[in-house]
Every structure is written in C-alpha cells, then in structure tokens.
Amino acid sequence: MLENAHVGVASFAFLITGAVIFIIAPLVMAVIWKIRKNEAFQTIIVGAVTFLLFALILEKPVQNVLAFPTAMGLSDHAVSRFLNANPVFLALVAGLFPGVFEETGRLVAFKTVLRKRRNRETSISYGIGHGGFEVMLILGLTYIQYIAYAVMINTDTFGAVIDQVKAQAPEQLASVETIVGLLTGFSFTDLFVAIIERIFAVLFHIGASILVFYACRDKKRFWLYPLAIVLHTGMDYIGALSIFHIISISAWALEGFTAVFGLLTFFGAYHLLYKKDNVKEF
C-alpha cells in the first residue's frame, strides 16, 4: 500500500493552509463579532464548551456503546447487531444523536449559564462558539494529524501506524488506506470543498442557535427546539447515508445538501426571529 506513496509539495502546502484556516478563521470571526457588537466573549466560550461537553464527552461514547461497542472494547449486543445489519437505521442513529445532543446542549446552556443574557446577539455569539470550536477541534486538529501522517509517509515511517492498526483494529485498515490515498492526491479542490462545507455548517449552527435561543425565551415558541433537532438530524442523516454507502452521491452533491440545510436554517432563523427582535435587553 505504501509502495511509491509520496505526498507532493503542493499537497503539503494545501494541508498546511487548511490547518491554518480551520484554526485561525473561527478565532478571527469570534473577535470581529465581539468587537462589532460589544458582546461578552464568555458567551462564545460557553458555546464552545457546550459543544465539547454534549457532542464529544456525552454523545460519542453513548453512540459508540449503542452502535459500535467493539470499538470501545465492549461485547457486541442485540441493538448494535441490528443497527450494523441495517445501515439505514445505523445512518439514522448517526444523524439523530448529534441532533438530540447538540440541540439539547444549546437548550441547557440558554436555560442555565446564559439565562440572564436575553439580548438577541447572545444567540449568534453562542452559535459562533459552538460552530467555530467544532471547526477548530475537528478539522483543525485533523489537518494537523494529516500533516504528521504526510511527513511519516515521505520518511517511510508510516508503516508503524499500519502495523499498529493491523494488530489492534484490523477492521480500520481500509480507512487507513483511504487516508494514504487522500494525502498523496490532496488538491486545492479537496481543500476548497472542506472550506465550503464548513462555512455552511457554521451557518447552520448559528441558525440552530437562534432557533433554540427563542425557544428558551418564549414558551409559545418552544416548538423551535424540536424543529432544530429535526433539521440537524436531517442534515447529518444525509451525510451518514453517504458515509455508509447507502446512497452514492458526489462530494459536490453532498455539499449541496449541506448548503440547503445551512442556508435555510440560518436565513430562516435570522429573518423570521433575530431581525424582527428589536429589544436589546429584557
């Protein structure tokens, strides 16, 4: 698999550019928003911490225990066997869990630590923290890892990673082979697609934050919270269907679906809720 594998200078440049963009851009966005709106930076931090707690610390372990127990060193069980034998339901779980956990995280944050911050800008501040930190933590760190792998490929030391995967998790060997193929052929198009996808994803997170913010502020609008769950689940479900090879669509088509969910959620929430709210403080 590694014979003649080599990551070119251009691919290295695009990987480094991606790592810088995915780490720096969210910080720049947060600082600009804070300065322009004189917003409390703590609200952005709350968004970031809530994503970390609900999406990574709580959601992922529960999802893995339910669907992929062997990956956590646990015994297989009836539910996991059913899900893995029925990838449509497995994809649904992969979409539903982020929807439930992340939107519930927003709800808890707005109901607790942010309950006294009732100005409309709080909703976007939280969304910037939530979506921006996701970019930094997931894509920023992933690209840094890719750079390390690329160096190992070019110095003929990546074989140690493959040996470790073969010994500890042979079922993931195909994923490693995919990574090698990605890195050796990494292009501007790959970077561009990743950037566009994240832009729409961040817009979705800001829009969903607006929805849940107003669900918390007005009991008559609490239905906006389950709506956010449905939208989030739908967006991730389509991606999961592609990942599990249930549907075969191009990367651009997948970005198209993400764009639709991101743009509709953001602009719908912004124009129908945020823009019509002229009250600064309650």
What tens digit of pLDDT does each residue of 17-27 get? 999 999 999 99
CA distance 94 to 166: 26
Tokens 């990551």 belong to 7
CA–CA distances in Å: residue 277 to residues 27, 80, 210, 272, 274: 27, 46, 11, 9, 5
Amino acid in position 204: F
Q: Is the pLDDT of residue 279 over 70?
A: no
Q: Is residue 273 within 8 Å of residue 214, measured between CB atoms?
A: yes
The string of DSSP codes covering 21-33 is: HHHHHHHHHHHHH
DSSP state, 139? I
CA distance 103 to 113: 16
Amino acid in position 104: T
Q: Is the pLDDT of residue 100 over 90?
A: yes
Say what the pLDDT of residue 282 is.
Answer: 38
Helix axes 9-37, 41-51, angle to 10 degrees: 130
Across the range 121-142, mean pLDDT stands at 96
The rounded mean pLDDT for the chain is 91
Q: Is the pLDDT of residue 274 over 50?
A: yes
- Residues 170-197 pLDDT 10s: 667 777 778 888 999 999 999 999 999 9
Task: Count CA within 13 A, CB hemisphere, residue 84.
Answer: 15
Closest by Cα among 229, 257, 221, 225 to 241: 257
Whether the model pTM is above 0.95: no
